[in-house]
């Protein structure tokens, strides 16, 4: 390992190759040339005294050392992005970039009108919306604000509970017209197309407490994307779980077995305590929390 400390651009290229699996893919994603990315990786290897990638039939495979370095390089990337967001927000008024993370369904179906109203009130704001069911780490500044369906446990996070989002079984009226409405779980499991998950998840394990034993092969459509499941319900493919508030927006979606299945999800908005005095984060936090509160209140309307 050399005495020279590697520059951030070397780690950036390293992460690009790690993600894309090739120099060419990393170059495209980073907006650099392939030789530049190659030089960066070689320079980082020389500076660290480590071999980071080996060539394989599928491209560049990370070594054990590369995998060990990855989480630290990702923290650097998140910190650099957070630094840029803070720098862009300096000056008078509410301005700069706010990065918000939420699940796919919340990000696509619920947040857009909330964010549109926020932008109309504060045109100097720019929003980065990270849609993922993975809990992005606010402690590492991967996001400024997070919408979560579990209560944040870290003391350094400012969290507000905005209510409970209810989930239930729903189907399109066309599907029920063709196949009938199940009157019990037994009928549901034996005679209907059920929309569910492809891979085992904590949510699916919890769902077994409500629906009993559920096997992967019981699902007539399997998708880990909540948006794909919602689209299948809307298309009349079968019966699946979706938010009651979303189903109420479409009169053609009918709730199935409402008394037998109601899954409450506690909903929280959180951000790091260090950001509570940031004008851009404060107004975005309040807008998201209040907007989600109105959405949740609308479930019962």
* CA-to-CA separations, 211 to 189, 193, 218, 229, 261, in angstroms, rounded: 9, 15, 12, 18, 8
Separation between Cα atoms, residue 176 and residue 171, nearest integer Å? 7
For residue 2, what pLDDT is reported?
A: 52
For residue 228, what pLDDT is reported?
A: 96
For residue 106, what pLDDT is reported?
A: 95
For residue 253, what pLDDT is reported?
A: 97
Show the beta-strand stretches assigned E in 153-230. Answer: 157-172, 195-196, 221-222
Strands 125-131, 145-148: pairing kind: unpaired
CATH annotation of 86-162+266-300: 3.40.190.10
Q: Which residue has the higher pLDDT, 71 or 92?
A: 71
What number of residues does the chain have? 301
- Mean pLDDT over the full length of the chain: 86
pLDDT tens column, 147-186: 998 887 777 688 899 999 999 999 999 999 999 999 998 8
For residue 87, what pLDDT is reported?
A: 72
pLDDT mean over 4-15: 84
Q: How far apart are the first and last CA of the chain?
A: 65
For residue 153, what pLDDT is reported?
A: 75
pLDDT band at 201 (very low <50, low <70, confident <90, very high): low
Which residues are CB-neighbours of 42 under 8 A, at least 6 positions away? none
Show the beta-strand stretches assigned E in the chain. Answer: 53-56, 59-62, 96-102, 125-131, 145-148, 157-172, 195-196, 221-222, 240-243, 253-256, 263-272
For 8-83, CATH number out of 3.40.50.150, 3.40.50.2000, 3.60.20.10, 1.10.10.10 equals 1.10.10.10
Structure pTM? 0.70
For residue 300, what pLDDT is reported?
A: 62
pLDDT band at 5 (very low <50, low <70, confident <90, very high): confident
Q: Which residue has the higher pLDDT, 76 or 300?
A: 76
Strand (E) or helix (H) holding 279? helix 279-297
Asked if the domains at 8-83 and 164-264 fall in one CATH topology, the answer is: no
Q: Which two tokens stand for residue 290?
A: 């209040």
164-264 belongs to CATH 3.90.1150.10: no
- Which residue ranges make up each domain of the chain? 8-83, 86-162+266-300, 164-264
pLDDT tens column, 236-253: 999 999 999 999 999 999
For residue 275, what pLDDT is reported?
A: 81
Lowest mean pLDDT among 50-64, 72-86, 240-254, 257-271: 72-86
Percentage of the chain modeled with pLDDT above 90: 43
């Amino acid at each position: 390992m050399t005495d020279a400390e590697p520059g951030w651009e070397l780690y950036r290229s390293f992460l690009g190759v790690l993600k894309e699996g090739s120099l060419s893919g990393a170059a495209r994603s980073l907006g650099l040339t392939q030789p530049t990315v190659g030089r960066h990786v070689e320079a980082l290897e020389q500076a660290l005294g480590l071999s980071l990638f080996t060539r394989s039939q599928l491209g560049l495979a990370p070594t054990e050392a590369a995998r060990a370095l990855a989480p630290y390089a990702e923290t650097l990337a998140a910190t650099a992005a957070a630094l840029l967001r803070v720098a862009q927000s300096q000056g008078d008024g509410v301005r700069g970039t706010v990065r918000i993370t939420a699940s796919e369904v919340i990000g696509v179906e619920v947040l857009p009108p909330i964010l549109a109203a926020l932008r109309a009130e504060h045109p100097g704001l720019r929003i980065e919306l990270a849609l993922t069911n993975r809990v992005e780490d606010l402690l590492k500044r991967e996001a400024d604000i997070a919408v979560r369906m579990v209560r944040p446990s870290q003391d350094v996070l400012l969290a507000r509970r905005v209510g409970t989002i209810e989930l239930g079984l729903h189907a399109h009226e066309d599907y029920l017209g063709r196949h009938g409405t199940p009157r019990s779980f037994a009928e549901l499991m034996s005679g209907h197309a059920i929309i569910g998950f492809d891979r085992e998840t904590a949510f699916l394990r919890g769902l077994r407490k409500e629906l009993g034993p559920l096997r992967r092969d019981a699902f007539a459509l399997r998708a880990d994307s909540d948006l794909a499941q919602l689209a299948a319900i809307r298309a009349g493919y079968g019966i699946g779980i979706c938010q009651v508030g979303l189903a109420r927006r479409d009169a053609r979606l009918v709730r199935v077995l409402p008394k037998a299945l109601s899954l409450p999800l506690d909903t929280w908005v959180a951000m790091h305590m260090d950001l509570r005095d940031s004008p851009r984060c404060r107004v975005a936090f309040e807008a998201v929390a209040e907007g989600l509160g109105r959405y949740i209140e609308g479930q019962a309307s």
